[in-house]
Amino acid sequence: MRYRTLGDLKVSAVGLGAMPLSIEGRPDEERARATVRAALDAGVTLFDTADSYHLSGAEPGHNELLLARALAGAGSEVLVATKGGRGRPADGSWTVNGDPRHLKRAAEDSLRRLDVEAIGLYQLHKPDPAVPLEESVGALRELLDEGKIRLAGLSNTDADQIRAAHRILGDRLVSVQNRYSPEVRDSEPELRLCAELGLAFLPWSPLGGISRSSLDGPSGLAAAGRFAAFHEIAAERGVSPQQVGLAWLLAKSPAVIPIPGASRPETIRDSARAAELVLSEAESARLKPLG
């Protein structure tokens, strides 16, 4: 496993997005915990969760509680990053609540569920258009000052919001978690800004566009569409297209730390191996038109 910088910490170059372990279609507890153990065995030290990763309207904090059980005794090098400011009511929607009082209560609840002295990385899950960003980020600053969280981050945010939060938090703002993948690259400006400010950029859903795990002859290649080069290089290297996709992301910038989701041990093992996959100049040139 290779490592990258997040704040003043070194974390695995590939993390685990734990959301699939708790939402609809989730595995049973045994397989979920086996997936987390497989990640640890593969050298993964960054685990991403949120208080809203649970079934709609049921079991708030399920993912945090699951990770707390699965990571018990894992060691101080493991960093759990959680988020607050979103909800999942029974109607299946995703709500947003950036009220400072809500965020502080949510962080205290997460702290209790994770059973830690301080949350390693706490992120505003999404800016609330009904609440001035300065007030939401102010809650993160208070949590930092109180020692309830060690580092702070933002998610689902734009460049102006990152700059505003950086003015408030300074070097205690360490990360931005936005959607970014071969298919969805709207956050190019945010990625460049993170590299400029020294922030880690954590792509969520990083494998968008690479849905097939292997090529099944010419028909499989055709199905891969404009992302066929990922599959071609994977076949040549004897690895999965997902590994090539993650290696492509890692090559974009030293700031990038992808957090692919997984609900099976073999999936996270495969993703973790991408940290060791270095694309050649010729391979990168074949993928360059995509990014």
Q: Are 152 and 120 in contact (CB under 8 A)?
A: no
pLDDT at 214: 44
Q: What is the mean pLDDT of residues 237-245?
A: 95
Q: For residue 240, how many other CB atoms are within 10 A of its CB?
A: 24
pLDDT at 133 > cutoff 80: yes
The structure's pTM equals 0.94
Beta strands in 135-182 (DSSP E): 149-155, 173-177
pLDDT of residue 279: 96
H/E stretch holding 257 reads: none
List the structure tokens of 238.
């004897």
The CA-based dihedral angle spanning residues 129, 134, 135, 136, taken in that order and rounded to the nearest 10 degrees: 70
Candidates 16, 91, 19; CA nearest to 51 is 19
pLDDT-based confidence at residue 123 (cuts at 50, 70, 90): very high
pLDDT digits (tens, 9 = 90+) for 177-187: 999 999 999 99
Does 256 or 212 have the greater pLDDT score?
A: 256
pLDDT-wise least confident of 212-216, 235-239, 282-286:
212-216
Percentage of the chain beyond pLDDT 70 is: 94
**How confident is the model at residue 217, as a pLDDT?**
47
pLDDT of 107 > 80? The answer is yes
Which is the catalytic residue, given 3, 53, 122, 180?
53
226 versus 83: the higher-pLDDT residue is: 83
Top pLDDT among 218 and 42 is at 42
**What do you get for the CA distance between the two ends of the chain, in Å?**
25
Q: pLDDT tens, 37-95?
A: 999 999 999 999 999 999 999 999 999 999 999 999 998 899 999 999 999 999 989 99
pLDDT at 290: 64
Neighbours of 247 (CB within 10 A): 27
pLDDT at 54: 97
pLDDT of residue 210: 85
> Is position 53 annotated as part of the catalytic site?
yes
Residue 125 CB partners (closer than 8 Å, separation 6+): 50, 52, 83, 84, 85, 86, 96, 155, 156
Task: State residue 84's pLDDT score.
Answer: 98
Res 219: pLDDT: 45
